[in-house]
């Protein structure tokens, strides 16, 4: 992001999202739950409808024109996702259901066949369960040691123990997110990636929260696998992508087996297809993948730099406004080192009560452990409230949140 980045006009963009045309209990919708899932612009919804109405058939197996159009739609989306992530080749993009499936694919396929006793599997205290539980499982299955990198008091990764950690075994796998869904922390993963590679390890990057908000470049990041979810970036649900280095993907066994992923099947044996077909068993999420490609177009039209800048401004504004609400404790780093995500608690009021009262005010936030129970244990809480922003978020929604918090406090006073 450069200072010259052109600001986006959230109020204008909001008009692309029909969801904001309704009110709740007479109040405008303040949708502050985009880290959970984002809303969808008309451009994506209309394009998907048109695709279904004009170009839908099964892909890679129909020789008639409709089938060719559908295949072009799916493969065109793969090209767009590859460009979006600056992947060297579209063949390295595997369509999956979501980031969770992408990470499981790597854990089952790469993890179970490459890990063993004496190896270290390293995750961070900041991981979503999707990039934690599969690795804990793979370590248990293979006899590898499972280790967790801690956070400092600001909610940022503490890498001071890496040298000591490397003495405990072979650094085989490091799993880390780029942006924390709980604290909004933007992780500078470069030193961790360097350390992992110096020790011959592989880095799996969870970019589920980063890809919607900032430029993600797999080559600049120098990671080995990277996962994204379409529904968090203005795309439909049911579609995500895994990017992996082709040499690693080539060497890995398939994860799911069945139709489309084979080269030849006999009674005695099966040989598997080329990339990415080897990892895409069964009928693809055809229109969903097409919709993800349209979402990529939409985000690029708005500009990732502008989105990132907008979110920083909103995060700073939210931190400023929340500081004025008595009894509110905010978790995580300062605004300049966080994406548009703010987790907090209100003294004496359970997060679920806060979220419910806010819901009655038209304000949607998430309350819970955010699929980050190890992080909650570190913070010493069972749950937090989380407000999260996106390209369509306006300051008035944060004002509505703050008004709702005052109301929640007065109810529980
Ligand atoms: C950081 C992070 N990783 C992974 C996931 C899992 O995404 P999905 O549920 O789309 O698989 C999420 C979802 O909240 C997330 O925030």
Please write the tens of the pLDDT for every residue from 221-251.
Answer: 999 999 999 999 999 999 999 999 999 999 9
Please, what is the end-to-end C-alpha distance for the chain in angstroms? Answer: 43
Q: What pLDDT is recorded for position 87?
A: 98
Residue 14 CA: distances (Å) to CA of 8, 95, 101: 11, 29, 31
In this structure, the dihedral spanned by the alpha carbons of residues 148, 134, 204 and 103, taken in order and rounded to 10 degrees, is -150
Q: pLDDT band for 3, please (50, 70, 90 cuts).
A: low
CA pair distance 102, 49, nearest whole angstrom: 26
Q: Which of 127, 130, 369 to mutate to test the pocket of ligand 1 (most atoms within 8 A of CB)?
A: 130
Mean pLDDT of all residues belonging to the chain:
95
Mean pLDDT of 354-377: 92
- The correct answer on CATH 3.90.1150.10 for the domain covering 10-31+303-411 is yes
**205-224 per-position pLDDT tens digit:** 999 999 999 999 999 999 99
Q: Where are the domains of the chain?
A: 10-31+303-411, 46-300
DSSP-based helix, strand, coil % in the chain, nearest 5: 45, 20, 40
**CA 227 to ligand 1 center in whole angstroms:** 9
**CA 385 to ligand 1 center in whole angstroms:** 17
Is 5 a residue whose pLDDT tops 80?
A: no
Q: pLDDT band for 4, please (50, 70, 90 cuts).
A: low
**Ligand 1 site, residue 292, Cβ cutoff 6 A:** no
- The correct answer on CATH 3.40.640.10 for the domain covering 46-300 is yes
Is 1 a residue whose pLDDT tops 90?
A: no
Is 2 a residue whose pLDDT tops 60?
A: no
**CA 54 to ligand 1 center in whole angstroms:** 32
Domains 10-31+303-411 and 46-300 fall in the same CATH topology:
no
CA geometry: angle 269, 270, 273, nearest 5 deg: 160
**Ligand 1 site, residue 185, Cβ cutoff 6 A:** no
The catalytic site residues sit at 371
**Ligand 1 site, residue 124, Cβ cutoff 6 A:** no
**Ligand 1 site, residue 128, Cβ cutoff 6 A:** yes
Tell me the percentage of the chain whose pLDDT exceeds 90: 91
Q: pLDDT band for 377, please (50, 70, 90 cuts).
A: confident
**264-299 per-position pLDDT tens digit:** 999 999 999 999 999 999 999 999 999 999 999 999
Q: What pLDDT is recorded for position 102?
A: 98
Q: What pLDDT is recorded for position 379?
A: 86
**With contact defined as beta carbons under 8 Å apart, do 391 and 310 qualify?**
yes
**Ligand 1 site, residue 343, Cβ cutoff 6 A:** no
CA pair distance 387, 409, nearest whole angstrom: 17
**CA 402 to ligand 1 center in whole angstroms:** 27
């Amino acid at each position: 992001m450069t200072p010259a980045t052109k600001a986006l006009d959230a109020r204008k963009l909001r008009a692309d999202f029909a969801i904001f045309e309704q009110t709740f209990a007479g109040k405008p919708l303040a949708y502050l739950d985009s880290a959970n899932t984002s809303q969808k612009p008309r451009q994506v919804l209309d394009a998907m409808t048109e695709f279904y109405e004009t170009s839908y058939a099964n892909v890679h197996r129909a020789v008639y024109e409709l089938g060719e159009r559908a295949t072009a739609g799916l493969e065109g989306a793969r090209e767009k996702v590859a460009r979006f992530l600056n992947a060297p080749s579209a063949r390295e993009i595997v369509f999956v259901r979501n980031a969770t499936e992408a990470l499981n694919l790597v854990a089952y396929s790469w993890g179970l066949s490459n890990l063993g006793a004496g190896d270290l599997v390293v995750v961070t205290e900041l991981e979503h369960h999707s990039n934690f539980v599969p690795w804990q499982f793979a370590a248990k299955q293979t006899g590898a040691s499972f280790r967790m990198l801690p956070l400092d008091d600001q909610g940022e990764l503490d890498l001071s123990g890496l040298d000591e950690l490397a003495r405990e075994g072979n650094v085989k796998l490091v799993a880390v997110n780029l942006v924390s869904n709980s604290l909004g922390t933007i992780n500078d993963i470069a030193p961790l990636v360097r350390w992992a590679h110096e020790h011959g390890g592989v880095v799996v990057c969870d970019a589920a929260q980063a890809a919607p908000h900032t430029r993600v470049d797999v080559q600049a990041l120098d990671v080995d696998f990277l996962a994204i979810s379409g529904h968090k970036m203005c795309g439909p649900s049911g579609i995500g992508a895994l990017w992996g280095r082709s040499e690693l993907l080539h060497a890995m066994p398939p994860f799911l087996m069945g139709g489309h992923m084979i080269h030849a099947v006999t009674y005695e044996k099966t040989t598997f297809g080329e990339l990415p077909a080897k990892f895409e068993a069964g009928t693809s999420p055809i229109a969903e993948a097409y919709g993800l490609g349209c979402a990529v177009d939409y985000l690029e039209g708005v500009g990732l730099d502008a989105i990132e800048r907008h979110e920083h401004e909103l995060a700073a504004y939210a931190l400023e406004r929340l500081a004025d609400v008595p009894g509110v404790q905010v978790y995580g780093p300062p605004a300049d080192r966080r994406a548009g995500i703010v987790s907090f608690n209100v003294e004496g009021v359970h997060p679920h009560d806060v979220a419910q009262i806010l819901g009655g005010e038209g304000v949607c936030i998430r309350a819970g452990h955010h699929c980050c129970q190890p992080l909650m244990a570190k913070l010493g809480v069972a749950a937090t409230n989380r407000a999260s922003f996106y390209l369509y978020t306006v300051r008035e929604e944060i004002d509505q949140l703050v008004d709702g918090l005052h109301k929640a406090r007065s109810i529980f006073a």
